[in-house]
Structure 1
Amino acid sequence: MVNLSTIHYAYIIIIVIIIVIITLKKDVILPCVLGIGIIGYIFTGDVLEAVQIIYKAIVVSGKEFIEVVVLIALVNAMSSALTDIGSDEIIIKPLKKLMVNKTMSFFVLGITMTMVSLFIWPTPAVVFIGALMVPVAVKSGVPPVWAAVVLCIFGNGVALSSDFILQVAPSITAKTANLASPLGIIKDCIPFWGVMSIVTITTAFILMRKDKSTEIVVNDKITETKELVQKQSIGPKVIAIATPLAFIIDIIFITRLGLIGPESTALIGGTAAIIMIISSIVHTDIKTSLGEVTKYVKSGFTFGISIFAPIIIIGAFFFLGSENTATAILGNGASGILTDIGIYAASKVPLSKYSVIGIQTAVSTLLGLSGSGFAGLPLVGTLANTFSTAIVIDKEKVAAFGQIITIWIGGGTIIPWSVVAAAGICKVEAYEVARKNFIPVTFGIVATVIMAIIIL
């Protein structure tokens, strides 16, 4: 039995303050840092330790994000190298035949993102697809921020919430729901997944068409069209063919060997580094490339850190909500604050079909706010199993419903620090991407809740 204490109420109040500040379109670094200190003081009762906890939280958050920082840096470095030799223009030329306008680009980019994300993790898929296709989408009229929205919704939303191919998400949910196989979760999530995806995509598309506030910066690097000074050279053409081929081979290896998470990300990142080096040598020569590669790496990491610096600090506060990271930050005896709040709420509400849907929605939302969709799945499955023993209700459907909500919120759509990969590739602010995602995802969640009321 979980009882809420001062630390839980303080955390809720700070989250409300942060949400209000976000809605006012102001930065939230200051309240996040103060919030970490306040929670640290409540937990330890010592001012000195509370100050140390601020630093520990930022370090833990940095460790959680370093993999994506490095990946973005290497891909950015590769992109710069490809641009310098003109291979990027050669690569995207065939895609222009399909991505002829804003509407076509929206759906071609989105469908491609979904298909690739089903076979590899969305983060490497964002990098792979974004580096090659986002420039084409932008040139066809899709504003960079909406290109990032497409990558998030179709990758971290549509693909990740179902996870039909790799089946990591349904396996976690099924195991904690005391189910022998994830196949039941997969089957029962289809109606929820379909409604959530269709409503969210449709809403996002309508909002994009109506959005007149986002202007495409013609001089920005992402929309810049360079003259190919190496038109007569065979090198750029070979690199242009080898680059997508290399990533396709990566996808094959990832699928065949069952590489997921960090393993698939590492393969994509290593491939990007090799392509950068080869492109640099082709552009100059081996001796000159020694300095060129250093230049690309420096610019790549400068870009990566500039994107992630505020996200690391904001994430530091919200990682207090997850048990694993809360223990690393606060020390032994700490628990996931958001997890505690969810369990407490579930234990205090009388159970019926409608209250189960309400509790699962609320808990899934709270778990998603921690910025990690998968971290909340064990509790989602556990609650579904608990509900099914208390009242007559289909626990596979309840678990599938919770899985969809948790991953859509926490997997990388409306939490600013979970959309940084897409924001980085599209060279836009993560806050702005999360804001653009908020209304479509909210509409999708409302429609999914209605679907749950109908079929449960």
Structure 2
Amino acid sequence: MDTQLSAAHWIYLAGIVVILITMALRKNIVVPAVAATMLTAWAFSGSIITGLSSIFNASLVAAQELFNIFLIIALVTAMLGALREMGADRLMVTPFRHVMRAGTSSFVVLAVVTFVISLFFWPTPAVPLVGAVLIPVAIRAGLSPLSVGMVIAIAGQGMALSSDYIIKVAPGISAAAAGVDTDSVADKSLALSLIVGVTALVITYVMQRRTWQKPSPDLLAAWENKADKFGITGSGGDAPEADPGPTGTGVPGGSSVTAGPGRPATGTATMELAAPEAPESPKSLAARTFATIVPTAYLVFIVYLLLGKFTSLVPPLQGGDAAGIVGGIAALLMFAACLTNDKRDFLESSSAHIVDGLVFAFKAMGIVLPIAGFFFIGNGDFSGPIMGLPDDVAGPAFLFDLINVAQSHITPNPIVLAFGVLLVGIVAGLDGSGFSGLPLTGSLAGALGPAVDMDPATLAAIGQMGNIWSGGGTLVAWSSLIAVAGFARVPVLTLARKCFLPVMAGLILSTVFAILVF
């Protein structure tokens, strides 16, 4: 039966086009998304009241679907805040400095440590943490500042954030929009992110190795002299505060370089930081204890996760259990850290950290709600509640209807479709936000996948790669790449340009892999 398109369908399609154009112009897309939601609902129902109420209902439905993501971000952020008070966050990475003796070892350690920290806690703490503790050591070991910036961006903002395998914010959004299982998207995203990341790191290693020098304290002193040039002032104290993104779209893992990376901008102070015998963080017993307990707890969780997935020794985790355990561990560790930091007022400090975590979560991800609401109204599973239809009435599937009409005029081709979704993801990331385009790529994956006999979860993972590697902080200079460039003390435009070839090569290779294997 032929699908009949109404005025609401064409308004919805126009909304998608306007959002893509707005992203390409590096402007905020909330207003176009909200306006398109209202006009679509108005045109479908014929009632301005329904159109106006859909603005609220769309964000409400999106919040109901995605609040678990907000909560886990809040709990992990709260835990990190408590650890930061005692200096345990920096002690967790200090041991790695002892093996950073030359260029190659520093390259590998930077990549591995940044990836692991970003995988568990997002790049928000990873960038200032690695910037304060490991970057000076890597520079002294002979790595060029540009190499340092590329490694951190690729391993953290790219490889770790694009898979988001532990916290599962990104695959959760993609899966919800595509109507598939979160774990399926997460597993495929992890495989694709490793292909992109390893490819980009190998190309970076080959391209940048000739710029490395012999280890010398003079390299560190020369690098320190660039502090004023790149606007890094010596403030001491904590790392820079997280920023919701230069375009206001919320950069997951993004931060603005508004203060020094936790150290004075003098060669002497940083030389002391670089020496393993005098780390900046206090070596209290509590800090050392928590610096051991936190990674151990999550390592045990990873082992359990792997045993449940690949063996029958333990029951596998179902649905959102994994994310719930990550949040539960974070909450308990945060309470224990607050009790250690301040026994008398630990109840108040625990609450304060949770509030800080929730504030950060909504700063980083809140902007996704009205955007996701627009794409949810194109999905028949969500459009009914958004427009206030009775429970026994099926909602319209605007996006699926448009796809059904379009596919009758084109020859289904998995290769064209896969690279098309990748391109949409890359374009959607041009706004400098790592996650705002995921509802779009996820919706397209759910609608287009069956038409070419391709798993929607695979398509959603491909779109997720394009969106996050582009906007998460590797390809565009107005993303959280600004923070990486600030800590590495290199021009952000140069860093973005140098990352382009390695990252694009990895994205193309991973997409081919997905088509052939998945």
TM range (shorter): 0.5 to 0.7
CA distance in 2, matches of 1:106, 1:318: 41
User: Corresponding residue for 2:354?
Assistant: 297
Give the 3 Å change call, closer, same or farther, for CA 241–74 of structure 1 in structure 2.
same
Tell me the alpha carbon deviations over residues 363-404 of structure 1, each in whole angstroms, 9 at most, x when there is no partner: 67679955276776665653344xxxxxxxxx7xx9897465
TM-score by length of 2: 0.60
Whether 1:283 aligns to 2:341 is yes
User: Corresponding residue for 1:249?
Assistant: 300
User: Corresponding residue for 2:34?
Assistant: 33
Give the 3 Å change call, closer, same or farther, for CA 323–48 of structure 1 in structure 2.
same
The offset of 1:272, in angstroms, is 0.9
The offset of 1:198, in angstroms, is 5.8
Between 237-246 and 375-384, report the one with greater CA deviation.
Answer: 375-384
Q: Which runs of 5+ in 2 are unaligned?
A: 136-144, 169-173, 212-225, 241-260, 264-272, 274-278, 309-314, 429-436, 473-478, 485-491
User: Corresponding residue for 1:179?
Assistant: none
Whether 1:238 aligns to 2:283 is no
Count of matched residue pairs: 398
SS of residue paired to 1:334:
coil
Instruction: Give the letter aligned to residue 304 of structure 2.
Output: F
Q: Which runs of 5+ in 1 are unaligned?
A: 117-123, 164-168, 177-181, 386-394, 417-422
The offset of 1:275, in angstroms, is 0.9
Instruction: Give the letter aligned to residue 270 of structure 1.
Output: G
User: Corresponding residue for 1:347?
Assistant: 408
The offset of 1:340, in angstroms, is 3.1
Tell me the alpha carbon deviations over residues 326-348 of structure 1, each in whole angstroms, 9 at most, x when there is no partner: 34423443344333333333222
Between 126-135 and 236-245, report the one with greater CA deviation.
Answer: 126-135
Give the 3 Å change call, closer, same or farther, for CA 50–272 of structure 1 in structure 2.
same
CA distance in 1, matches of 2:102, 2:20: 35
User: Is contact 2:7-2:44 (8 Å) kept?
Assistant: no
Give the 3 Å change call, closer, same or farther, for CA 19–270 of structure 1 in structure 2.
same
User: Corresponding residue for 1:388?
Assistant: none
User: Higher helix proportion, which one?
Assistant: 1
Give the 3 Å change call, closer, same or farther, for CA 378–279 of structure 1 in structure 2.
same
Whether 1:271 aligns to 2:324 is no
Percent identity of equivalent pairs: 20
Whether 1:137 aligns to 2:130 is yes
Candidates 127, 131, 154, aligned match of 2:120: 127
CA distance in 2, matches of 1:97, 1:87: 18
Give the 3 Å change call, closer, same or farther, for CA 319–400 of structure 1 in structure 2.
closer
CA distance in 2, matches of 1:282, 1:56: 43
CA distance in 2, matches of 1:205, 1:5: 54
CA distance in 1, matches of 2:76, 2:299: 16
User: Is contact 1:193-1:404 (8 Å) kept?
Assistant: no
**How do 1:294-373 and structure 2 match up within 5 A?**
294-330=351-387, 331=389, 332-350=393-411, 355-359=413-417, 361-362=419-420, 371=439
CA distance in 1, matches of 2:113, 2:281: 30
Give the 3 Å change call, closer, same or farther, for CA 144–58 of structure 1 in structure 2.
farther
User: Is contact 2:384-2:396 (8 Å) kept?
Assistant: yes
TM-score by length of 1: 0.67
SS of residue paired to 1:66:
helix
User: Corresponding residue for 1:59?
Assistant: 60
CA distance in 2, matches of 1:241, 1:53: 49
Instruction: Give the letter aligned to residue 80 of structure 1.
Output: G
Between 307-316 and 98-107, report the one with greater CA deviation.
Answer: 98-107
Tell me the alpha carbon deviations over residues 305-352 of structure 1, each in whole angstroms, 9 at most, x when there is no partner: 22223222222222234443334423443344333333333222246x
Between 371-380 and 83-92, report the one with greater CA deviation.
Answer: 371-380
User: Corresponding residue for 2:140?
Assistant: none
SS of residue paired to 2:408:
helix
